């Protein structure tokens, strides 16, 4: 009885303890608030960070539970981060993006600087190659015409270059004749024009209260002459440097002409060979991009020659009609200067106006200025948009920036080659970005040829493998015929190797043969004994 009473008392104590641990009664409103808080926490977990940011603030009634739940989630997320990740979380998003781009931009600038530094040391090689490339695109129609006349490739290239040299020498001869005769006629005109300018300057200075006279002008000329005499050594050093530059120019010209021969005769094969240095899967795209860029470069050069000829003819005719001396040399200068976009036209036009001012006076100079502006307006508003725009599709701002960058980096040479290089790069990049090689018949044919070549290589590789397997099988067969009962494929034979393996295998064969012979002899003797015993029993 006492044990039963003790067990009953213990059960009653456990019930009382459970009742003490139960929570007190909660009002209905509190239940609703708690359920609302749980709902807000669930919504916060389901929503993204943007939606949770629009949740009620901490001071909103009935939202304390949701904010605590979101804070708990944020605390758990931050607790799982490393120190480096916490530092990244503290840095603003914009700063991280700027830092990610900054080192890449610096790397590109450093690579560009190193490339330009290297180009400055190999300019004697690069510039003739660029000149040969431009001339080859310009002279390609002449070379193709000679090829249609059954000229060999090398002979057609040499003939084309000889025609170019003859044209340039004839033009220089005509210009030289004009300069020699023009300077003799222009001497008196220049002297008269200078005196008129001095008189005009005196009148303008008198109106402005500035003293300008012929004596002061003569004094300026005397000072310039004295400065030249005092700095004759420096000028002589400059002349020596000019002579060195002239020597480099001759070497570069010879190299350009020599390279031009092979660009005209074997240009396509040179490009095909160069593409083989590109990984195989990128060859069709790079090959097509180079061809499109080369076509755009040739179109630009031919169109630029046409535009330069129009400028030269227009300004030359205007100068001749106005009686400006050296009209033909001015036209040639305008033609050459037109190959430098924007800058060349301005400089050559200013030279023409200055000659008109010095030789014929202010009115003639103003008329010459009108002619220059008219020709340049025709070029800018008619020739550039219609002819040049369709040829290369370059924005005028891109042209200006390219010419400025080329002039800053490489001087007059950079200004000359900036736009052609930009035209080549622009067309090549557009070809790759728009994936035009997928619709290019030549690129598709090249890709199919590569696939067929890869299949042929695989077939040849399989044939070699089959031949090797047949050779190995023949060696094994001859070995088995020579050493019967021996398998060369067993690991034990291979591990022992060579002659020892053969001797060991032969010994094992002999042992097996002896053992089998002894066993057969013993068996036959036992059989004979049993037969004799049976025969004696039958006789009894």
Q: What is the DSSP string of 404-456?
A: HHHHHHHTHHHHHHHHHHHHHHHHHHHHHHTTGGGS-HHHHHHHHHHHHHHHH
Cβ contact 324:455 at 8 Å: no
Check residue 339 and report its DSSP letter: T
Q: What is the DSSP string of 73-136?
A: HHHHHHHTS-HHHHHHHHS-HHHHHHHHHHHHHHHHHHHHHHHHHHHHHSHHHHHHHHHHHHHH
Q: CA-CA distances (angstroms) from residue 203 to 43, 213, 216, 364?
A: 90, 9, 14, 20
Three-state DSSP state, 17:
helix
Find where tokens 């001095």 sit: 198
Nearest one of 503, 504, 475, 499 to 489, comparing CA atoms: 475
Neighbours of 132 (CB within 10 A): 21
What is the residue-level pLDDT of the chain in tens, covering all 540 positions? 444 444 445 454 544 444 444 444 444 444 433 444 444 434 444 444 434 434 444 444 444 444 456 666 666 666 667 777 766 677 777 777 888 788 888 888 888 888 777 776 777 788 888 889 889 988 998 999 999 998 998 999 999 999 999 988 888 888 777 777 766 666 666 666 666 666 777 776 666 666 666 666 667 766 766 776 666 555 444 444 444 566 777 888 888 889 999 999 888 889 888 888 888 888 888 888 988 888 888 888 888 888 888 888 999 899 889 888 888 888 888 888 888 766 777 888 888 888 888 777 788 888 999 999 998 888 877 777 677 666 667 777 887 788 888 877 777 778 788 888 888 988 898 888 888 888 888 888 888 888 888 899 899 999 999 999 989 888 877 777 776 666 656 554 444 444 444 444 444 454 444 444 444 445 555 555 555 555 454 444
Cα–Cα distance for residue pair 186/359, rounded to 1 Å: 7
Handedness of CA 129, 135, 136, 137 (dihedral sign): positive
* Structure-token pair, residue 291: 């061809």
Check residue 56 and report its DSSP letter: P
Nearest one of 286, 225, 249 to 437, comparing CA atoms: 286
Cα–Cα distance for residue pair 254/260, rounded to 1 Å: 10
Annotated domain spans of the chain: 127-223+247-277, 280-439, 485-515
Cβ contact 328:178 at 8 Å: yes
Neighbours of 89 (CB within 10 A): 10
Global pTM reads 0.57
Cα–Cα distance for residue pair 399/420, rounded to 1 Å: 10
Cα–Cα distance for residue pair 385/351, rounded to 1 Å: 26
* Structure-token pair, residue 145: 């015409």
Residues 6+ apart with CB under 8 A from 164: 135, 139
Q: CA-CA distances (angstroms) from residue 344 to 62, 245, 335, 416, 424?
A: 78, 22, 9, 9, 21
Q: What is the DSSP string of 105-120?
A: HHHHHHHHHHHHHHHH
Neighbours of 392 (CB within 10 A): 21
Cα–Cα distance for residue pair 375/404, rounded to 1 Å: 23
Cβ contact 515:523 at 8 Å: no
């Amino acid at each position: 009885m006492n044990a039963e009473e003790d067990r009953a008392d213990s059960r009653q104590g456990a019930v009382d303890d459970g009742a003490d641990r139960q929570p007190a009664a909660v009002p209905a409103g509190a239940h609703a608030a708690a359920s609302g808080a749980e709902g807000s926490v669930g919504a916060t977990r389901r929503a993204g960070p943007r939606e949770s940011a629009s949740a009620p603030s901490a001071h909103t009634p009935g939202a304390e539970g949701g904010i605590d739940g979101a804070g708990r989630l944020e605390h758990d997320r931050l607790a799982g981060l490393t120190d480096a990740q916490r530092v990244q979380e503290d840095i603003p998003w914009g700063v991280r993006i700027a830092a990610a781009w900054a080192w890449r931009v610096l790397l590109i600038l450093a690579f560009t600087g190193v490339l330009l530094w290297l180009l400055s040391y190999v300019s004697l090689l690069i510039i003739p190659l660029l000149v040969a490339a431009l001339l080859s695109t310009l002279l390609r129609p002449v070379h193709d015409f000679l090829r249609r006349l059954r000229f060999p490739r090398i002979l057609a290239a040499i003939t084309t270059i000889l025609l170019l040299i003859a044209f340039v020498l004839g033009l220089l001869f005509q210009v030289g004749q004009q300069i020699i005769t023009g300077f003799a006629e222009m001497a008196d005109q220049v002297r008269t024009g200078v005196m008129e300018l001095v008189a005009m300057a005196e009148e303008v200075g008198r109106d402005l209260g500035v003293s300008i006279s012929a004596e002061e002008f003569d004094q300026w000329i005397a000072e310039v002459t004295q400065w030249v005499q005092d700095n004759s050594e420096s000028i002589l050093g400059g002349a020596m440097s000019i002579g060195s530059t002239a020597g480099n120019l001759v070497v570069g010209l010879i190299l350009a002409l020599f390279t031009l021969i092979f660009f005209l005769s074997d240009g396509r094969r040179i490009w095909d060979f160069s593409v083989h240095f590109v990984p195989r899967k990128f060859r069709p795209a790079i090959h097509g991009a180079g061809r499109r860029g080369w076509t755009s470069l040739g179109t630009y050069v031919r169109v630029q020659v046409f535009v330069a000829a129009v400028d030269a003819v227009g300004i030359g005719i205007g100068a001749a009609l106005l009686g400006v001396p050296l009209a033909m040399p001015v036209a040639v200068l305008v033609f050459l200067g037109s190959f430098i976009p924007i800058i060349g036209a301005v400089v050559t036009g200013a030279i023409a106006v200055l000659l008109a001012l010095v030789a014929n006076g202010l009115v003639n100079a103003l008329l010459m200025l009108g002619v220059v502006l008219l020709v340049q307006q025709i070029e800018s508003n008619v020739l550039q948009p219609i002819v040049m725009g369709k040829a290369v599709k370059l924005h005028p701002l891109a042209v200006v920036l390219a010419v400025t960058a080329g002039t800053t980096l490489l001087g007059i040479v950079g200004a000359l080659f900036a736009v052609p290089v930009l035209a080549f790069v622009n067309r090549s990049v557009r070809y790759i970005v728009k994936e035009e090689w997928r619709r290019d018949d030549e690129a598709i044919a090249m890709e199919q040829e590569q696939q067929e070549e890869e299949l042929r290589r695989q077939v040849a590789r399989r044939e070699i493998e089959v031949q090797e397997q047949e050779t190995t099988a023949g060696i094994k067969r001859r070995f088995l015929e020579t050493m019967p009962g021996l398998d060369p494929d067993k690991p034990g034979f291979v591990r022992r190797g060579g002659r020892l393996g053969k001797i060991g295998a032969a010994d094992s064969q002999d042992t097996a043969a002896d053992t089998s012979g002894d066993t057969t002899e013993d068996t036959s003797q036992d059989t004979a004994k049993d037969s004799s015993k049976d025969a004696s029993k039958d006789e009894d």
